[in-house]
Amino acid sequence: MSKRHYLQVIAVIFACFLALVCLLHYDARIAGPKEKSIEIILKARQNPPDFWRVVEQGIIEASNEFGVQCNVTAPSRESDVERQIQLMEEAVSRRPDAIILAASDQERMVPVCQEAVEKGIILVTMDSDIAYEGRRCFVATDNYEMGKKLAPLIDEVAGRGGRFGVIAHVQSTSTAEQRRDGLLDTIENAGGRLAALEYCEGSEDLSRERATAMVLAHPEIECMVGLNESSSLGITYAVQDLGREGEIAVIACDSSQKQIEYMEQGIIQAFVVQNPFSMGYLSVQNTVKLLAGETVPPVVHTDSVVIRKQDLYKQENQKLIFPFSNEGS
């Protein structure tokens, strides 16, 4: 080996040494990344149904875990599309890194969403999608699948030929439409058996009113189906109002403490629950991934589970139905 080679070897060793020292020095000085901010707009929040409360728990859990700043807002009523557009505009004006939206209306929310995306804000939808390709990810229950799960339950409680009525929440909301389609596509002889289908604009009172009218107008109805929490509760109240507990079976979507009480009392026979905690958590998780530049699937589905009265307190169902809370509700 010539002397020049020695020199080269020494030079390389010293260079590596220096480089590593610099690297370590630099490494030690790297500050934590700036906290990302995410605006989250739900369908309802004030005086909330349990569903959105649990979604928010999932959001909080994820925001703590991933170290992001989440600001959650929502209209007071699910059907208040105007208010949601307004909230969306306010959110855009705060220039967050990302917005997560549970759209009340899949068409009317599009312009404001376009505006957000044009301003470089990452848009993720949750629970209910919008008719706009610009959103990067949609986290929701597979609502069509959820609708399909309702069909055998109707057969169970009303027999294979029994007539049924449906109260859905908000027309033109994707969740309502997909659950309705899933149910009607799956059940045998849908046209012959469906007595009536009404919308309640996400209001328990309206659902109660229309369910009462529906049952009175169609005395042959053996089973009432609510496609979300508020419509289901309205139906339950209507059945109680009419004194027809046990005669008219109630199949519900989503769970709430009241629904659980009614199931314990035998008024609600079964419900299909979504996993709102997962939905909240996964929507934030996927948004965080998008903010980090990772790719995520355009649609992320959370599962739904059928709960009947007899398996309400099974260990695995307890975990799903009762949101875990250390403080108690």
In this complex, which beta carbon is closest to another protein, that of residue 10 or of residue 190?
A: 10
In this complex, which beta carbon is closest to another protein, that of residue 13 or of residue 299?
A: 13
Q: Could you give the dihedral angle defined by the CA atoms of residues 89, 91, 93 and 94, in that order, rounded to the nearest 10 degrees?
A: 170
Contacts with 69 (C-beta within 8 Å, 6 or more apart), sequence order? 35, 36, 37, 38, 63
Enumerate binding residues for another protein (CB under 8 A): 3-4, 6-7, 9-10, 13, 17, 20-21, 24, 27-28, 57-58, 61, 65, 257, 260-261, 264-266, 275, 277-278, 281-282, 303, 313, 315, 318-329
Cβ of residue 174: shortest distance to another protein, in angstroms? 22
In this complex, which beta carbon is closest to another protein, that of residue 294 or of residue 327?
A: 327
Nearest to residue 41, comparing CAs of 135, 178, 119, 118? 135
Cβ of residue 148: shortest distance to another protein, in angstroms? 20
Cβ of residue 205: shortest distance to another protein, in angstroms? 21
Residues linked to residue 167 through DSSP beta bridges, in sequence order: 198, 226
Cβ of residue 313: shortest distance to another protein, in angstroms? 7
In this complex, which beta carbon is closest to another protein, that of residue 6 or of residue 95?
A: 6
Cβ of residue 123: shortest distance to another protein, in angstroms? 22
Cβ of residue 266: shortest distance to another protein, in angstroms? 8
Structural tokens at position 278: 């997962």
In this complex, which beta carbon is closest to another protein, that of residue 62 or of residue 151?
A: 62
In this complex, which beta carbon is closest to another protein, that of residue 126 or of residue 206?
A: 126
